[in-house]
Amino acid sequence: MGSAKDGSEGLDPRVARSRAVIVAAATEHFLRNGYVGANVDEIAAEARVSKRTIYNVFGGKEQLFRETLAEALVTAERFSRQLSVELGTTGDVAGELRDVAVRLAAAVLGGPVLRLRRLLIGEAERFPDLADDYYARAPGRVMDSLAEGLRRFHERGLLHVPEPELAAEHFAFLVMGAPLDRALFAARPLAADHVAARARAGAEAFLRSYMNAAPARR
Cβ closer to its own copies: 57 or 180? Answer: 180
Residues 185-214 that bind its own copies (CB under 8 A): 185-188, 198, 201-202, 205-206, 208-210, 212-213
Number of chain positions touching its own copies (CB under 8 A): 47
Instruction: Determine how many CB atoms are found less than 10 A away from the CB of residue 183.
Output: 22
Distances (CA, A) of 58 to 10, 15, 72, 165: 18, 11, 16, 40
Say whether 42 sits in a helix, a strand or coil: helix
Q: Which of 46, 169, 200, 214 binds its own copies (CB under 8 A)?
A: 169
Is 153 near its own copies (CB under 8 A)?
A: no
Cβ closer to its own copies: 58 or 171? Answer: 171
Closest CA to 100 of 133, 157, 145: 145
Contact at 8 Å (CB) between 105 and 198? yes
Smallest distance, DNA to C-beta of residue 158, A: 55
Smallest distance, DNA to C-beta of residue 75, A: 23
Residues that bind DNA (CB under 7 A): 11-15, 17-18, 38-41, 48-53, 55-57, 60-62
Smallest distance, its own copies to C-beta of residue 81, A: 19
Q: What is the 3-state secondary structure (H, E, C) of 70-128?
A: HHHHHHHHHHHHCCCCCCCCCCCHHHHHHHHHHHHHHHHHCHHHHHHHHHHHHCCCCCH
> How far apart, in whole angstroms, are the C-alpha atoms of residue 114 and residue 69?
14
* Interface positions with its own copies (CB under 8 A): 32-34, 36-37, 118-126, 128, 131-132, 134-135, 139, 143, 166, 169-170, 172-174, 177-178, 180-182, 184-188, 198, 201-202, 205-206, 208-210, 212-213
